[in-house]
Amino acid sequence: MALIYFRCIRMNHLFLHPSSPFTKKSGVLFCTLQASHAQVATQVNFQNQGKQKEKSIQTATKKTLEHHKHGYEAIIGIETHVQLSTLTKAFCSCPYLYGTRPNTTICPICMGLPGTLPVLNSKVVEFAVKLGLALNCELSMNSKFDRKQYFYPDLPKGYQISQFDVPIATKGFIDLDLPVEFGGGHRRFGITRIHMEEDAGKLLHSETGSYSQVDLNRAGVPLLEIVSEPDMRSGVEAAEYAAELQRLVRYLGVSNGNMQEGSLRCDVNISVRPTGQSQFGTKVEIKNMNSFSAMNRAIDYEISRQVLLHREGQSDQIVQETRLWDEAAQKTFTMRKKEGLADYRYFPEPDLPEVVLVKEYIDEIRQSLPELPEAKRRRYEKLGLSMQDVLFLANDNNVADFFDAAVENGADAKLAANWIMGDIAAYLKNERRTIDEIKLTPKELSELIAFIKNGTISGKIGKEILFELISKGGTVKSLIEEKDLVQIVDPATIGALVDKVLAANPKQLQQYRGGKTKLQGFFAGQVWNCGSFAILLVPCDEGIQG
Query: What is the tens place of the pLDDT at every residue in 433-463?
Result: 999 999 999 999 999 999 998 888 888 888 9
- Give the CB-side neighbour count of residue 215, counting CA atoms within 13 A: 17
For position 347, what pLDDT does the model report? 94
Q: Confidence class of residue 57 from pLDDT cuts 50, 70 and 90? A: very low
- Decide if pLDDT at 8 tops 80: no
Q: What is the mean pLDDT of residues 171-186?
A: 92
Other C-beta atoms lying within 10 Å of the C-beta of residue 317: 12
Local confidence band at 209 (pLDDT 50, 70, 90 cut-offs): confident
For position 498, what pLDDT does the model report?
77
Q: H helices within 409-475, ranges in order?
A: 413-419, 425-431, 442-453, 459-472
CA distance 110 to 105: 9
Model pLDDT, residue 523: 76
φ and ψ at residue 311, rounded to 5 degrees: -65, -30
- Residues 149-166 have pLDDT tens digits of 998 899 999 999 999 999
Q: 102-111, 218-227, 443-452, 496-505 — which is least confidently predicted?
A: 496-505
Rounded CA separation 451/421 (Å): 19
Q: How many residues does the chain have?
A: 546
Residue 518, pLDDT score:
78
Render pLDDT for 91-126 as a digit per residue (tens, 0 to 9).
Answer: 999 999 998 999 999 999 999 999 999 999 999 999
**Which carries the bigger pLDDT value, residue 366 or residue 35?**
366
- Give the dihedral sign, CA 134/137/138/139: negative
Query: Which band of pLDDT confidence, cut at 50, 70 and 90, is reported for residue 62?
Result: low
Task: Give CA–CA dist 179/262, Å, rounded.
Answer: 25
CA 403, distance to chain mean position in Å, is 20
Third-level CATH fold of 488-545:
Arc Repressor Mutant, subunit A (1.10.10)
Residues 482, 474: Cα–Cα separation, whole Å: 11
> Any idea which of 192-201, 408-417, 495-504 has the lowest mean pLDDT?
495-504
pLDDT of 396 strictly over 50: yes
The ranges assigned to domains in the chain are 67-356, 371-483, 488-545
Between 18 and 90, name the one with better pLDDT.
90
Look at residue 487 in the predicted model and tell me its pLDDT.
Answer: 55
Cβ contacts of 208 within 8 Å, gap of 6 or more: 40
Confidence of residue 519 (pLDDT cuts 50, 70, 90): confident
At 49, give phi and psi (nearest 5°): -60, -40
- Interval 248-262: pLDDT, tens: 999 999 999 999 999
356: left (phi over 0), alpha (psi -120 to 50) or beta: beta
- pLDDT tens for each residue of 37-48: 444 344 434 444
Q: What percent of the chain has pLDDT over 70?
A: 81
Q: Is the pLDDT of residue 483 over 90?
A: no
pLDDT, position 22: 38
How far is residue 144's CA from residue 4's CA, in Å, rounded to a whole number? 29
pLDDT band at 480 (very low <50, low <70, confident <90, very high): confident
Say which residue, 500 or 439, is predicted with more confidence: 439
Give φ, ψ of 544 to 5 degrees: -135, 135
Q: What is the pLDDT of residue 144?
A: 97
Tell me the HSE value of 207 on the side-chain side, using a 13 A CA sphere: 0
pLDDT digits (tens, 9 = 90+) for 267-312: 999 999 999 888 999 999 999 898 999 999 999 999 999 999 999 9
- pTM beyond 0.85: the answer is no
Confidence grade of residue 341 (pLDDT, cut at 50, 70, 90)? low
What distance in Å separates the CA atoms of residue 264 and residue 292, rounded to the nearest whole number? 11
Percentage of residues in the chain with pLDDT exceeding 90? Answer: 64
CA distances 158 to 6, 90, 161, 269, Å, are 11, 17, 10, 26
C-alpha 78/C-alpha 283 separation (Å) is 12
- Residues 6 or more apart whose CB falls under 8 angstroms from that of 446 comprise 406, 407, 409, 410, 411, 416
Looking at residue 115, its pLDDT comes to: 92
* pLDDT classification of 10: cutoffs 50, 70, 90: very low
Q: Please tell me the predicted confidence (pLDDT) of residue 485.
A: 63
Round the CA-based radius of gyration of the chain to a whole number and report it.
31
Hey, what long-range contacts does 177-181 have (CB within 8 A, 24 or more apart)? 177/377, 177/387, 177/390, 177/391, 178/236, 178/237, 178/240, 179/240, 179/391, 180/387, 180/388, 180/391
What pLDDT, on the 0 to 100 scale, is given for residue 538?
39
Q: Report whether pLDDT(12) > 60.
A: no
Of the candidate ranges 38-42, 315-319, 320-324, the one whose mean pLDDT is the lowest: 38-42
Tell me how far apart the alpha carbons of residues 13 and 24 are, in angstroms, rounded to a whole number: 12
pLDDT of residue 501: 79
| Residue 530 clears pLDDT 50, i.e. is over it | yes
**pLDDT classification of 64: cutoffs 50, 70, 90:** low
